[in-house]
Structure 1
Amino acid sequence: MNTEILGVVLQVVLLVAISWPLGRYIAKVYKGERTLLDFWAPVERKIYKICGIDPAEEMNWKQFLKALLTVNLFWFFWGMILLVCQGWLPLNPDGNAGQTPDQAFNTCISFMVNCNLQHYSGESGLTYFTQLYVIMLFQFVTAATGMAALAGIFKAMAGKTVQTIGNFWVYLVKSVTRILLPLSLIVGFILILNGTPMGFDGKQTLTTMEGATQEISQGPTAAIVPIKQLGTNGGGYFGSNSSHPLENPNYLTNATECWSILIIAMSMVFALGFYLQRKKLAAWIYGVMLAAFLTTVCFSVHFEMQGSEQIAEMGISQEIGSMEGKEIRNGSAGTALWAMVTTVTSNGSVNGMHDSLTPLTGMLTMLNMQINCWFGGVGVGFMNYYTFIIIAVFISGLMVGRTPEFLGKKIEAREMKIAVIVALLHPFVILTGTALSSFLAAHSPELASAWLNNPSFHGFSEMLYEYTSSAANNGSGFEGLVDNTPFWNISTGIVLILSRYLPIVGQVAIAGLLAQKKYIPESAGTLKTDTGTFSLMTFAVIFIVAALSFFPALTLGPIADTLSF
């Protein structure tokens, strides 16, 4: 077997093997059962005491959402102030200036909603202070927010007829202390041992082999990269993200970081099964997600390893695949795997330039984000799938003449309206934003030349990708787009807000409303949701509603780009 393909296979096998026990552990954490990390309990009690939180207090779904939105609003203002004023704050040995208000708005919103869309270069656009007290802090908070929201939905789904869905603050704190922080420490040690910098010295001046001088940025990289990956955040410490040799020095760190992106998102599906004591349901959901993910991996690895016909015609060997925009230490297959892992989740970190992927691989990265529920972000990935389960249950019930029920609760008009709004919001904001930017670029040659480094179909793909990445809370980009402008900062910022908070509000509301309903025991007339047939139905609903909504846009972009050669 080709060694590159073997590396891909081993990484996928390791992900699947570890997601089962980690999912069981996560379920125990959220159910309040004993775990090996119970020594964190005194620290957690201290946090509750300082913050005036009663960990025994139960919240209904409205109180739960109020707490979630309040803490996010607070941290938004915190981030805005620090980013604009960072030039005057400590830990700034390189003398980096503060961000402009529109760029600070985009950066703050982007990291607040777990997207990490970066319209700046990490080593020059931020200081060590804001890297730690805005970027790294937000990456813990926002990942834990998504995980806490899912924990509340778990409790709502497990309840028979209940008015409360748990305590948001407890779920938030435990997500950090029991899951994110321990895993981050393990990954961080691996990175440090392999050469990732961890310190507060300024830029280092070196003399190259050609005799020229070059300044190398350093800083607390190893502290930030682990949570960037584990929390499906993705914001690179350096401008080139994990294609930078200090952020991702070798194949071991590459595999570790790639594994970190997907492991918690995958484990959350198994956590559902352990929490609800419905392992068969979780296994079918996991199977659908894994099959969809592996399909994209197989196609993307094939496309990237076969190389580019156009470059081959120039007499350049393509035996090692299409290597434009890729690092030799990662290889074409390793880059293709990362591209699928980072877009099948809401991570968005890159170890190669997505703008240089073959057009069909670029299409798959966009399609992953447009569907936005194959594992997805930590917590919110399954929540997006949950929306489609509600729609699939309702449609299936109508088709076979049975009352739409899920886990013993009737699906009625109110839940369906919320689910449909959430499902259609995603394509609406992406296609509306792309249409607006395309209209402006088409009617203003000055804007087109200022925004786009590539014309025609590929230029359209760059704009489509930017809004897709924003709406999917992903953050990666086709970097041929010049995006640090007031238009892109503000327009993508609006998309970020709508696409993060409206779905979370809708999904938690659905779970809370269903939790309050009378529990109906399963009978011979109950529609089974833990079967292969229903799983295929859910896949069909996702494909029709999510994937086909984008087919015309994909035709104008990457598909036309492929056929034009």
Structure 2
Amino acid sequence: MTMGLIQVVVTLLIAILLVKPVGTYLVKVFDYETTGLDRIFGPVERFIYRLIGVREKEPMGWKKYVFAMLLSNFIMMMLMYIIFRIQKFLPLNPDKIDNMSPALAFNTAASFITNTNWQAYNGENSLSYLSQMIAITFPMFTSAATGFAVAIAFIRGLVARRDNLGNFYVDLVRTITRVLLPLSFIVALFLVFQGVPQTLHGAADATTLEGVKQTITRGPVASFESIKHLGTNGGGYFGTNSAHPFENPTPLSNLMEILCMLLLPTALVYAFGVMIKNKRQGWSIFAAMGIMFLVFLSVVFVAEYNGTPALNALGVHGNMEGKEVRFGISESSLFTAVTTAATTGSVNNMHDSLTPLGGLVPLGEMMLNNVFGGKGVGLLNGLLYVILTVFICGLMVGRTPEFLGKKIESKEVKLASIALLVHPVLILVSTAIALVTPSAISSIANPGSHGLSEVLYAFTSGAANNGSAFAGLSANTTFYNIAIGLVMLLGRYISIIAMLAIAGSFATKKVAAATSGTFRTDTPLFTGILIVIIVVIGALTFFPALALGPIAEHLGMFQ
């Protein structure tokens, strides 16, 4: 356990050391500061703008920004759906993969356009190379860039003097060309160095030592894995995801994938502080997210090392079920906490095999959906709770609440309430419907509390745009493909629209000078209050469901 703890601490220290330099670079990218890299990226970006008919300096108000985001995402989703439906007739299909069914194609297209990457299919058996590259890997860039662009637009709205959130297409392109593509190229080369395949050749036939013929699936895996983790996309080229030795072969590749998941979500929080010209504010929010993450990590780490009473009675110390020996309990626990904190959805162990309290951790992080969170959207959810916290504190002291010198009024509170409530409504209502639908109930592999956790986890993963799953649920059915597909779309876009509307409202407000009576939001006191508000709201919303699922299962082990 001691060595495992050291591994976890070293990984987190490396991640923290990367926050400031990467965050500083992000500020330069989105504040359009002149750098030496303009010579490399500038011509490419200007060519793309001419190709799509975009004027680089054209400003967008919040409504125009939302329309551009929705239009581009809708067109890309339709193209993805068509590719899945006709992939059998398209090139780069050496293994003769058949077309997807309509419901599965809808679910998969919704999944990858929303940065969820929920997989109701096995990648090696259901997608051609062309589908993997054009309809899976490419949307990993665009969906991550969309979330990033929206977060940057929201930050601009907080400090703007008029309704100008920037230009969505410019933000999208710069995120891809200056952030995601260069980093993905470097990470892909490292993964190839570690043994991850990168080829367009078809499956290889091999003969085992026992003389058995075996077909080994391969493909452009390294490029898939790099953007999968950097873009907090999740999913997997293979059905077993990052537990597969072709996706994550060594402890070093595991370290790289963890760092990639944390890199941009953490750096963006620091960049937020710099862009609003209040680094203390950025560190205050970072501290709140970091404290919650460490608590969740501690719970899953201890729970998996303690194992279960049944295992302990057999003299087996620690729960290794569903985990790879090359990673062990510590790296599996850290991966679990990171992938659901950053809403990535990539897994190097089977969450269905976690102890009940261990399984509670990924559920809890996705339910809160603001423990750093996914690309861009995690910061948005964190700022949503900041606005609510300031409003609640303002009510308590009897003064108009302000954030960054701008008053929070009824319009912003109503929009924030919509963004806050859509998440639990999608999760709890969908879970309730599934548990009374016979065709959905038949997909549950385990009875009782664990079966409830499987369904609850599926819809929580969809609403949080995470994509990981409890493996015991057979989700490739018409009901789950359509239901989870709708949850992913609504969970993604309703909250984004509401938050951009808040940004547009903030952008037109006047800035009030700070006085001795101003409630500061960049202090340790505010960080503590923010954590309490998040935990209380989360507990009031989700505790009954958790009590029937993982908590009941945990208590049942001692009977």
How far did 1:316 drift?
5.4
**Pairwise CA distance, 1:299:** 1.7
Aligned to 1:113: 114
Q: What secondary structure does 1:467 align onto? A: helix
The answer to whether the 8 Å contact 1:233/1:348 transfers is yes
1:259 alignment counterpart: 259
Q: Matches of 2:163 and 2:440 in 1, distance apart?
A: 53
What TM-score, normalized by structure 1, do the two folds share?
A: 0.97
SS at structure 2 position matched to 1:439: coil
Cα deviation code 1:505-563 (max 9, x no counterpart) = 00111011111112212222222111122222222221122233110100100011111
Q: For residue 306 of structure 1, report the CA deviation from its aligned partner.
A: 2.4
Are 2:544 and 1:552 equivalent residues in the alignment? Answer: yes
Give 2:483's match in structure 1, choosing from 491, 498, 501.
491
Quick check: 1:245 aligned with 2:237?
no
Q: Which of residues 402, 406, 411 in structure 2 aligns to 1:409?
A: 406
May I ask how many residue pairs the two structures share in their alignment?
A: 556
Determine the structure 1 residue equivalent to 2:202. Answer: 202
Letter matched to residue 216 of structure 1: I
Find the counterpart in structure 1 of residue 384 from structure 2: 387
Name the residue aligned to 1:182: 182
**Deviation at residue 296 of structure 1 after TM alignment:** 1.1
1:533 equivalent to 2:533? Answer no
Distance change (3 Å), C-alpha of 1:447 and 1:156: closer
Show the counterpart of 1:59: 60
Shift of 1:36: 4.5
Q: Is the 8 A contact 2:197 2:221 kept in 1?
A: yes
Q: What does residue 359 of structure 1 align with?
A: 356
Deviations along 1:427-479, whole A, 9 cap, x unmatched? 11100011111122xxx4x753x301111110000000000000000000001
Provide the residue aligned with 1:138 in structure 2: 139
Partner residue in 1 for 2:191: 191
Could you tell me how far apart the structure 2 residues matched to 1:548 and 1:334 are? 32
Pairwise CA RMSD of aligned residues? 1.2
One-letter code of the match for 2:426?
Answer: V
Q: In structure 2, what is the equivalent of residue 372 of structure 1?
A: 369
Matched, 1:466 2:458: yes
CA contact (8 A) 1:25 1:35 kept: no
Mean Cα deviation higher: 400-409 or 94-103: 400-409
1:447/1:71 Cα in 2 relative to 1: closer, same or farther (>3 Å)? closer
Q: Is the 8 A contact 2:440 2:479 kept in 1?
A: no
Amino acid aligned to 1:498: L
CA offset at residue 309 of structure 1? 2.6
TM-superposition CA deviations, 1:36-87 (whole Å, max 9, x none): 5322111101111111110111111111111000100000110010001011
Kindly provide the amino acid, as one letter, of the partner of residue 236 in structure 1. G
1:75-108 deviation line (CA, Å, top 9, x unaligned): 0110010001011111111111010000000000
**Given the two structures, how large is their TM-score scaled by the length of structure 2?**
0.98
Query: Structure 1 pair 420/447, CA: closer, same or farther in 2 (3 Å)?
Result: closer
Gaps of 5+ in 2: none
Verify: 1:155 aligned to 2:156, yes or no.
Answer: yes
Q: Deviations over 1:266-299 (max 9, x none)?
A: 0000000111111000011001101110111112
Note the C-alpha offset of 1:211: 2.1
Contact 1:370–1:547 (CA under 8 A) maintained in structure 2 = no
| Residue aligning to 1:128 | 129
2:319 to 319, 322, 325: 322
CA distance in 2, matches of 1:254, 1:19: 19
Aligned to 1:432: 429
CA contact (8 A) 2:440 2:480 kept: no
Q: Which amino acid aligns with 2:419?
A: V
Identity, % of aligned positions: 43
Pair 1:171 & 2:171 matched:
yes
Preserved contact between residue 402 and residue 526 of structure 1 (Cα < 8 Å): no
Q: Structure 2: how far apart are the matches of 1:236 and 1:75?
A: 20
> Aligned partners of 2:44 and 2:77: how far apart in 1?
26
What CA deviation, in whole Å up to 9, does each residue of 1:331-351 have, x standing for no partner? 111000000000011100000
Structure 2 CA distance for partners of 1:34 and 1:200, relative to 1, 3 Å? same
What CA distance in whole angstroms lies between the structure 2 residues aligned with 1:211 and 1:458?
A: 40
Q: Identify the range of structure 1 (431-440 vs 353-362) with the bigger mean alpha-carbon deviation.
A: 431-440
- Contact 2:292 / 2:531 at 8 angstroms: preserved in 1? no
Contact 1:370 1:550 (8 Å CA) reproduced: yes
- State the SS of the aligned residue for 1:3: helix
Q: Relative to structure 2, which stretch is displaced further, 542-551 or 330-339?
A: 542-551
Q: CA deviation at 1:307?
A: 2.7
The runs of 4+ residues in structure 1 deviating greater than 4 Å are none
Q: Aligned partner of 2:156: which letter?
A: K
- Over residues 146-172 of structure 1, what are the superposed CA-to-partner deviations in whole Å (9 max), with x where a residue is unaligned? 00001111211222x212111111111
Asked if 1:422 is matched to 2:423, the reply is no
Aligned equivalents of 1:55 and 1:330: distance in 2? 46
